[in-house]
A and B are shown apart, each in its own frame.
Chain A
């Protein structure tokens, strides 16, 4: 669905000091994947994300969405309609003064007739569970609710893919959980999800983890494989999720204990299964 071929990107706002944020990225993302991108600050995650819906055009190399090259201005609107984007600060992405009108903004841009607009707004607000707040002004909502409105605005365009760039960074744990649940739900409905995060806990939600470092892809694979390479991750400035760290430490004392473990539930289950003797002997 998304194909990235040898993409370089250089910001030359300041001509004396151009910054090369991407240095030869190659990447295939298939339909229905849930990809999580992690990496330390400035590693180029946001720059890569903005290439997925033609907000940025590669300095060299090609990005194509469903076979449409982002360099081709003719495909621009189709690409924008196929790939939705959610950014970090919910407040700065809400345009209208009423929730439902903001959700309608994208579909309005698509030129859909009134009946279709209404259907899409209802549907999107139902998915993010904000139907009760449809006529409220956005500034009265909590950060988590605002971010769900933003997500509704993106999915009202029925994109095949949704890109979330640190969309949970400004939220409290409750709001974060709500947004993550929404993402899982969309993924279950067949939407391709690409999530950028710096919370390792969220990295295990996906089916595939990509680790970026200094404009390159450093690691790429299923979460089980990525999080079994604790030392490599640490070298890239990243930690393991807390549960995984815990499991690893138990594993060091009791080799029978499996590692890596990615969720609290898994860990609890394994702990219960541990023979009494193993715990006592160590």
Chain B
């Protein structure tokens, strides 16, 4: 059976109504927390920090009672690409990172596999995993409506600086609102083209290349339809008296509870720890140990 559901594997934007602790947090607190965690994943350049982050994220996954496989499902379509990048890194990584601590494992011509390139790949895979978990966790435990209102309220102080906070969150809301509609449409277009002989088959090891190529002729009709919808939507909004954010009131209100401040505080402290602990040194120590570079270990201990 050919799989036409283009976004069947996409977990971003799905919501699992499990009603856990994490679900009940104020969306504003959650947005800030998860932004901090994303920053953590981005800036934690050491392996040890990444492992710590992963452990913390696993903790949050447990608290949220969402199955881990849900959070990781979104990774599946990207797996072939990850494999390619990982291989490239493995073969050609000539990084600066403590080259004196690395030892060569295997070398052939200009290809040079070292303990450092292995660390680099481990870091990359960990980071991708963490990004995926953070982003899916946020959407799995927060409804799109909560997300947009959270964003709107968080950004609203910036309105005084003429920052289009309301407009931005409206754009965000409309994008989320139309994601399932357009996904359904894409599925229809695919079926229409398949019924006229287009091949979206999934046999073969290289199917991801074919699938990517086959997406191109789908984009044109999808884009045209999106434009038509946009035109209709503009008209409908205008007819309902929309003239921008000025003078609008809001149907949805949010109120932060002590639990929200507590959760936010915990994440802040955690990120501070990641940032201020000398985790880079820990990394060097580990790599050095693994490299059997005992001299390096001695000198480090001597310091």
Contact = CB atoms under 8 A, between A and B. Distances in A.
A109 B249 CA distance: 7
A93 interface: yes
B232 A89 contact: yes
Contacts of A93: 232-233, 236
Most buried by A among B170, B232, B241: B241
Given A81-B241, A91-B229, A104 B251 contact: yes
A97 B143 contact: yes
Nearest to A104: B251
A145 B60 CA distance: 38
Contact of A92 (B180, B229, B243, B253): B229
B145 A101 contact: yes
A205 interface: no
A106 to B, nearest CB: 4
A118 interface: yes
A109 B237 CA distance: 10
Interface in A63-77: 77
Contact of B177 (A87, A97, A118, A157): A97
A138 B249 contact: no
Most buried by B among A92, A113, A137: A92
A97 B176 contact: yes
A77 to B, nearest CB: 6
A268 interface: no
B252 A101 contact: yes
A111 B232 CA distance: 24
Contacts of A118: 251
Contacts of A106: 240-241
A85 B180 CA distance: 25
Nearest to A120: B251
Interface string A83-99: 01101010111111110
A93 B249 CA distance: 20
Contact of B240 (A109, A111, A139): A109
Contacts of B143: 97-98
A95 to B, nearest CB: 6
The 6 residue pairs across chains A and B that have the minimum distance between CB atoms: A92-B232, A104-B251, A93-B236, A85-B239, A106-B240, A109-B241
Interface of A: 53, 55, 77, 80-81, 84-85, 87, 89, 91-98, 100-101, 104-114, 117-118, 121, 137-139, 150, 153-154, 157
Given A95-B177, A96-B173, 4 more contacts: A95-B173, A111-B247, A139-B177, A157-B240
17 contacts: A53-B239, A77-B241, A77-B243, A85-B236, A87-B235, A87-B236, A92-B233, A93-B232, A93-B236, A95-B233, A95-B237, A97-B143, A98-B145, A107-B251, A109-B242, A121-B251, A137-B144
